[in-house]
């Protein structure tokens, strides 16, 4: 019996027109779509008339579901994994199921497509020949030690942050990185997309006290970039 395949499908980070024709085709053809949030993804699928069955797959249930899902793919089912936005596996669930598929001989294909940190990095104006993607910092335990470690990094650094913690992060960057230049991008690809660049102090003055919305990408310039 021919084994099935797992497809990692990038979805738009904001603007629905950023999905690829190939992504739509695969989502219509697979037997099951694994979605981080089925209600959120349901709106995307409805927009493109995709009627494929969905199942919730995220960091809170991946340990329980990975083995039975891979067994189903071993039996011939084709599945697609999507996140709420961007490429699955970048700061959300994917690693466990990809690793298990590879271990059991199930093919895995990742389609090219939207990822939030790429436009944020390019729009920052900071060096792109080398960079470190650090994702979300620990919220509590290990946060200070992680920031201290990153402060010694000589490459451009990319972080994800939620809007309600942006001000705190900028204060921490000022403490650990001094006045290195920082770029903050939010609402990428959406109507109110915004990128602001400056020192941590300048950005704190701009964002301080504001009701910031949208997922945040923070890019920190290398220490020798002036």
Residue-range domains of the chain with CATH: 5-110 (3.40.1010.10), 117-220 (3.30.950.10)
Indicate if the pLDDT at residue 156 is higher than 80.
Answer: yes
DSSP string, 45-81: HHHTT----EEE--TTTHHHHHHHHHHHHHTT--EEE
pLDDT tens digits along 18-71: 999 999 999 999 999 999 999 999 999 999 999 999 999 998 999 999 999 999
pLDDT tens digits along 87-114: 998 877 799 999 999 999 999 999 999 8
Sign of dihedral through CA atoms 194, 113, 95, 83?
positive
Q: Exposed/middle/buried for 153, CB within 10 Å: 0-12, 13-18, 19+?
A: middle
Can you tell me the distance from the alpha carbon of 80 to that of 74, in angstroms, rounded to the nearest whole number? 14
Q: What is the band of 127 on the pLDDT scale with cuts at 50, 70, 90?
A: very high
Can you tell me the distance from the alpha carbon of 130 to that of 156, in angstroms, rounded to the nearest whole number? 7
Would you state the pLDDT for residue 226? 59
Three-point CA angle 175, 181, 184, nearest 5°: 95
* b/e per residue 61-96 (b: at least 16 CB within 10 A): ebeebbeebbebbeeebbbbbbbbbbbbbbbbbbeb
What mean pLDDT is predicted for residues 191-206?
A: 94
Would you state the pLDDT for residue 175? 96
pTM of the model: 0.89
The pLDDT mean for the chain works out to 94
């Amino acid at each position: 019996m021919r084994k099935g395949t797992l497809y990692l499908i990038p979805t738009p980070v904001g603007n629905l027109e950023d999905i690829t024709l190939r992504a739509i085709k695969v989502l219509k053809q697979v037997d099951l779509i694994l979605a981080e949030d089925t209600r959120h993804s349901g709106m995307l699928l409805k927009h493109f008339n995709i009627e494929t069955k969905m199942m919730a797959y995220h960091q809170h249930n991946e340990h329980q579901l990975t083995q039975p899902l891979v067994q189903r793919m071993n039996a011939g089912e084709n599945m697609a994994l999507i996140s709420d936005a961007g490429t699955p596996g970048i700061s959300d669930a994917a690693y466990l199921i990809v690793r298990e598929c590879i271990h059991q001989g199930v093919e895995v294909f990742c389609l090219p497509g939207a990822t939030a940190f790429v436009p944020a990095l390019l729009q920052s104006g900071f060096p792109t020949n080398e960079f470190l993607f650090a994702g979300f910092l620990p919220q509590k335990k290990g946060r200070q030690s992680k920031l201290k470690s990153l402060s010694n990094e000589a490459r451009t650094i990319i972080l994800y942050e939620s809007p309600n913690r942006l001000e705190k992060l900028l204060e921490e960057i000022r403490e650990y990185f001094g006045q290195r230049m920082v770029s903050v991008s939010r609402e990428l690809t959406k109507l109110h997309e915004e990128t602001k660049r400056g020192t941590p102090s300048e950005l704190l003055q701009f964002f301080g006290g504001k009701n910031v919305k949208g997922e945040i990408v923070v890019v920190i310039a290398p220490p020798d970039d002036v």
